Structure 1
């Protein structure tokens, strides 16, 4: 089953400095039917205004994966980590028992990103943070795993996360068709960034998403150049 979630149907949070669209209902924001998919319960399409962002705040028992689409954000936490993440960078943070962090756009131009939250396999533990770059050339025409709870993916270069899911990205050029096999049981959430994409017989406009359930594979056809972000469940989820 492929459930289309058009961008214009998504819940929204708008502040002077933030424009966020929510692919999953969060607290009282968003559509009731946009339920979590296994451990995946947040996938936000965020834009931070220049010289703005989230100040120091706390998280616990959440795995956070951030993909920077344009501009740059600066991360800082109470474990002493600090980094400026430019476009085509991914950050993976395991909050563990508790972490304080800030995420700000210190630039003079807007920053656009996808932020993904997943429930951990087990609560508690020590916080962990890491980042890497994944260039368009590396991911052109194929999926690259950015972060994963599968040790084999981590051995191959993915950032580690403490959950039964992986986050992947591909850059597909106009006219490219890909048969993408999903891990069992075939559940995933997929977002097209800046171009049109067909997922099976479902036509996605830019920034639309689809929830995929009980499908062994999906056929992706790019109608424009686009980036495709997919979160795949590694075990049976709701």
Structure 2
């Protein structure tokens, strides 16, 4: 089963520095039918104005993944970590027993990113943070950027969750096949472009929930950049 949530039906929040869309219930947006998919709890599509950002605030017991689509984000936390993650790259924060962090756009242009929260499979872990620049793989493949699944080969940032965040570029007309397997669900969003997933159309920044499918065929209707979360149901 593939269910599409069109971009124009996502939850919305806007103030003087943040323009956000919420794929699932978050903050002031609540929809009892949109509480997450498996262990995936939050997928926010954020645009952050230059010279602004999220001031220090706390988190506990959550895996928080930030995929930067345009611009860059600068992270700082209570563990003393500080770093800049730019477009195409990813950062992972393990909130664990507790962490305070801030995320700022220090660039001259807006930063656009996906912020993804996944419920951890392990509790009481030490908090932590990491970022990684990934080689831009050839078009037509999905690369695991963060991975906590059994058997992960260690090339991605680790997660304390039975989940993976994958991304890639698919050229118009190309098809990528991705296995999910029993007991797993997927949630995918084209950050640019458009695709069909097992024949179902998914447009730019729409969200598609995939369940009960052992394998999906993702065909690009136009050149597309895609992010997919594979998570235990």
Report the alpha carbon displacement of residue 125 of structure 1 after superposing the two structures with TM. 2.0
Please give the secondary structure, in 1, of the residue aligned with 2:151. Answer: helix
Contact 2:181–2:213 (8 Å) recurs in 1 = no
Deviation string, structure 1 residues 41-91 (Cα, Å, up to 9, x no partner): 101111101111101111101100110011011000111110011111100
Corresponding position of 2:75: 75
Please give the secondary structure, in 2, of the residue aligned with 1:193. Answer: strand
Structure 1 position 125 matched with structure 2 position 135 = no
Q: Cα RMSD over matched residues?
A: 1.4
Deviation string, structure 1 residues 171-207 (Cα, Å, up to 9, x no partner): 1011111222113324110111110111122211111
Corresponding position of 2:215: 217
Corresponding position of 2:193: 195
Corresponding position of 2:179: 181
Corresponding position of 2:17: 17
- Unaligned 5+ runs, structure 2: none
Deviation string, structure 1 residues 93-148 (Cα, Å, up to 9, x no partner): 1011100110010111000001100111132221011111124x315211110111
Please give the secondary structure, in 2, of the residue aligned with 1:21. Answer: strand
Contact 1:10–1:31 (8 Å) recurs in 2 = no
Detail structure 1 runs of 4+ shifted over 4 Å in the superposition: none
CA distance in 1, matches of 2:213, 2:158: 26
Corresponding position of 1:45: 45
Corresponding position of 1:33: 33
Corresponding position of 2:226: 228
Give aligned pairs, total. Answer: 233
CA distance in 1, matches of 2:158, 2:27: 27
Deviation string, structure 1 residues 131-166 (Cα, Å, up to 9, x no partner): 11124x31521111011112532x331111111111
Report the alpha carbon displacement of residue 28 of structure 1 after superposing the two structures with TM. 4.5
How does the TM-score come out when normalised to structure 1? 0.93
Corresponding position of 1:90: 90
How does the TM-score come out when normalised to structure 2? 0.95
